[in-house]
Chains A and B, each alone.
Chain A
């Protein structure tokens, strides 16, 4: 048993280390750290800090995917929550601002959850609705502008520090622990994995799948809202057109890199977050490398392919299969 967890994370840990080593090679000062205005400063901190929105999204997304679903609307929910927070920031206290943004995220999650769990619409279609409409809602809130704010409390959410660590990182760690406590501290994790693994069998075992599926979409919405608040706080403004744009794909990718199958079933919160960090370590490395930006997407695709191949259990099967096929050829 003690051997199992490390074995599951091996491919991801290996990938992360290799990418960090490559980062170190293209940028010799990659691991340098110093304190700047009471905040740790360095490329490694950038990776963690810039990786937080996707890490937060992946915390919700991994649960949704584990049930066999998917949530395409998280990027749009980020935009809505960011817009909500930014428009309230200079007139309301921080708890009200955060509370409203999270409530918006909760409502979005509830909407998705009802479509999927109650009305039984396919998740990809159900969440596509909010993906498209959500950005429009965000634009309505911001009236198409970038809504800026100066509230030091909200700015702190994006640019402040706790004991030297940038606030977003601390929030992400907190959310990881909280999600872990909820999922593994209750029976939720087991029931999610059972439902994702075989929904029919779980239902026939008396698992109340509906409430559970509803709740994971709600949680996904809340995580997305928090990511949206942090993204807005980071640039001191809510950019409805661009906040969270395409991040749903990064979040799905993080979950997949973290070893969770899109068919649902087994999942790991820690590895999903590790997946987010792998993606960000790669992004930061590309930025540091000085390669022409035309190569960004290509490099990203190659690295992702390599990471996914490295953890594919089929790779072994495939080589065996081709060997057998060759033998069986007359």
Chain B
């Protein structure tokens, strides 16, 4: 539903752009968190290319994971009187004051990738984020469909304990598992979102589950852990993708390499393109006064071997993952 709406919106926006882009060149300031992960780097580079596509002048400020740098950047964007401010907030709280300043300057703010505390709800135009519960559901549904009615023991590689993304991706996946009596999560441990820990945890799962023979599928909260888990399975003499099904989230380039080699089955994309929908919303708002919904959910697209993984890999490789 929402997806369709989104597509429709972006289609019209694209149309609009084609006709009126040259009329008013927009300047957008983007306060990016920093280079905390490959995904973040990809988000930055996609933002640049999306801006170029629309002939929008994008100014990116790298905050090096510090809120005070982000606040400074926003203030300087306000001073430069940009047309809009994008903010990927490093933490959820402490934004009210600076966002009020932006509001008073009549500069719309769009949150990217992460939301802030409800107290700031009125201070930004819209938030473009992915729904991590939904990502977990997409992963779960793929697994349920692929397994069919067969009994299947799943092992889960969780993200960092306490991280909201990990909690939500678990929640969405568990909801689907609960609806399918044949699916059962037999082991669940944290792999801290890293390859090394994913590998180590998978090694122990294999040993604890009868040399991996009683494991039917692995679900990892991110692709990096899955890449590590795939190595662990191979070293244990198992065939990932065949003996054990894999599904993970993020859609980083390396998982496509594994999918194309037949060593991984599916990944759910956390799109690095948050800026695209945000640009569209801003253009529509500026030119036609269209107020976007408070939350623009990005698509959580599922990729499998059927989606020409090698091609996706090639297209994603250069994004900085």
Contact = CB atoms under 8 A, between A and B. Distances in A.
Interface centre among B201, B208, B227 (most CB of A within 10 A): B208
Contact of B207 (A146, A288, A296): A288
Interface string B21-49: 00000000000000111101100000000
Interface string A36-55: 11010111001000100000
A326 to B, nearest CB: 43
A41 B193 CA distance: 25
A235 B195 contact: yes
B297 interface: no
Interface stretch (A167-175, A236-244, A264-272): A236-244
A287 B201 contact: yes
B189 A234 contact: no
Given A46-B203, A293-B158, A296-B190, A243 B41 contact: no
B321 A293 contact: no
Given A287-B189, A293-B158, A144 B35 contact: yes
A235 B36 contact: no
Contacts of A284: 204
Interface residues of A, number: 37
Contacts of A27: 207-208
A100 interface: no
Contacts of A46: 200, 203-204, 207
B254 interface: yes
Contacts of B321: 145-146
B51 to A, nearest CB: 20
Contacts of A50: 200, 203
Interface stretch (B88-96, B118-126, B228-236): B228-236
Contact of B231 (A144, A235, A294): A235
A292 B235 contact: no
B236 A290 contact: no
A36 B321 CA distance: 33
Contact of B228 (A143, A235, A296): A235
A146 B195 contact: yes
7 contacts: A144-B35, A159-B235, A236-B231, A242-B195, A287-B208, A288-B207, A296-B190
